[in-house]
Structure 1
Amino acid sequence: MKELNYIKVFLLLAGLSLVTLAVYGVVSQRTDTFYKFLIWNLFLAWLPFVFSMAAHELDKRKIGGLLVLPLGIAWLLFFPNAPYIMTDLVHLTIRKNLYFVSGTIQNRYWYDLITLLLFTWSGWLTGFFSLYQFQAVIYRKTNLLLSWIFVLFACGLGGYGVLLGRVYRLNSWDVLTDRHQLYQLVVDSLNRQSVFFSLFIACVLLAIYATMYCLLNVLGRGNGRDYSLGGRR
């Protein structure tokens, strides 16, 4: 795996988020503040990156080894918030009466669509870079195969988390505050339709992440220099 400069990654993602918020600010002045909840959702999408960056730095410096596990659990708990933002596109359908008037598409539709896509892009990039960081941590401690098994598990959890969040309206912190409700929702969600939905989202996440991984590790190795972790080849 290629080692990244995560300070630069952080600055890039922070810049993208600021641009996203600026676009929302401009659009909300011309339309309304209905999509204000996207700001909170973007904040939740940032939490996995905060956890993964902390774990990555602790592991890289070989300090706080015992903290990596709780950081990993926290990361797994909040990671689904990143892909979840995609489902906010449903509001374009819910509010279709505002966007289509007398058979004509209103300009506000394009403003809101672009805003939603920017929030989705920001959230997904932040989430996928956090996944890359944790894969790097596991790669250092084990090997590439086990790190990819972790990726598969994370994508599966992400798909299931999107289902629980959008369909069953479960929040990440409900795992800690209402375990009975969580247990009941898990039982209710064990049906063919929910399993297919979760696996479908998981496959989409895996496809996008694998594309990013290849761009970073395969297509970017044209100069012959070794940037692999721990000197592995």
Structure 2
Amino acid sequence: MNKLITIYVLNKKQNSSLFILSILSIILLLLRVKITHSIYLLFLLWNLFLALIPYSISSYIKFDFSIKRSNLKNLIYLIIWLLFIPNTFYLITDFVHLHHNNLLQYIFDFTLLSSFTIAGFYFGILSIHDIHKLVKSIYSRRVSNAFIISISYLCAFGIYLGRILRFNSWDIVSNPSNLFYSILDCLFEIETIIFTLSFGSLILISYSITYQLTLKNKLHEKY
């Protein structure tokens, strides 16, 4: 019972921060629509929604796992989570839409895209952290570390599939054969490798820094 209460309290704090950050991003976007009379960046709402999906799944798995450690339902949810987790970090690639001759417009759009990117990264880091804790509770530290490294670079490869090859998470169901052959074609291309290593390292470093800060905060609270 104490463990469930702790999970609830931590989730409540995280959800409050994510809610505030998401609302701030949405307000900035709606303000842009109001000022420019353009819906050009309105797709950011959809991208933010896609970033919410893996966080919701990992939060549910974490809560359900504390009650029943392992079942088929959680395994299915974990597979779905793996398919959607790249969407949280994908938002950083939306900076490709940043192009304006007007300096004020450029600064505003940069701030807007940054807010959505930070929100997406926050969803992703917290979501991976939830699953990381579950992996650590079952397997060794070495396995859990390997899991984080693998997830980071798989996310980066997923971003490549989405931004460069223009696939999305739904294509695993709606267009699996084309997705599969496209993956085989690009897997060992230099562009794919550089993109995956670069973004994967960024995700891994971001998570590692956040994880270390979390550990330090826990130690300070303990003592």
Output the TM-score relative to the length of structure 1: 0.87
Size of the alignment, in residue pairs?
A: 215
SS in 2 for 1:222: helix
Identity %: 28
* Bigger RCO (CA 8 Å, 6+ sep): 1
Q: Which aligned runs of 4 or more in structure 1 are off by greater than 6 angstroms?
A: none
Equivalent of residue 35 in structure 2, options 30, 34, 37? 30
**What is the alpha-carbon root mean square deviation over aligned residues?**
1.7
Structure 1: any 5+ residue segments left out of the alignment?
226-233
Map 1:97-108 to 2 at 5 A: 99-100=100-101, 105-108=102-105
Instruction: Give the structure 2 partner of residue 47 of structure 1.
Output: 53
Question: Which residue in the other structure is 2:22 paired with?
Answer: 17
* SS of residue in 1 equivalent to 2:219: coil
Q: How does 1:157-176 map to 2 (within 5 A)?
A: 157-176=154-173
Is this contact kept in 2: 1:48–1:130, CA < 8 A? yes
Within the alignment, does 1:216 sit opposite 2:221 as a pair? no
- Give the whole-Å Cα distance in 2 for the aligned partners of 1:127 and 1:72: 14
Q: Which residue of 153, 171, 185 maps to 1:156?
A: 153
- Given candidates 144, 164, 171, the residue that maps to 1:147 is 144
Alpha-carbon distance between aligned partners in 1 of 2:166 and 2:137, rounded to the nearest angstrom: 36
Unaligned runs of 5+ in 2: 1-5
Cα distance in 1 for partners of 2:11, 2:217 equals 19
Distance (Å, rounded) in 2 between the aligned partners of 1:63 and 1:187: 36
SS of the residue aligned with 1:165? helix
User: Which structure: greater helix fraction?
Assistant: 2
Displacement of 1:62: 2.1
Q: How far did 1:13 drift?
A: 0.7
The question of 1:199 aligning with 2:197 is answered: yes
Cα distance in 1 between the residues matched to 2:74 and 2:16? 23
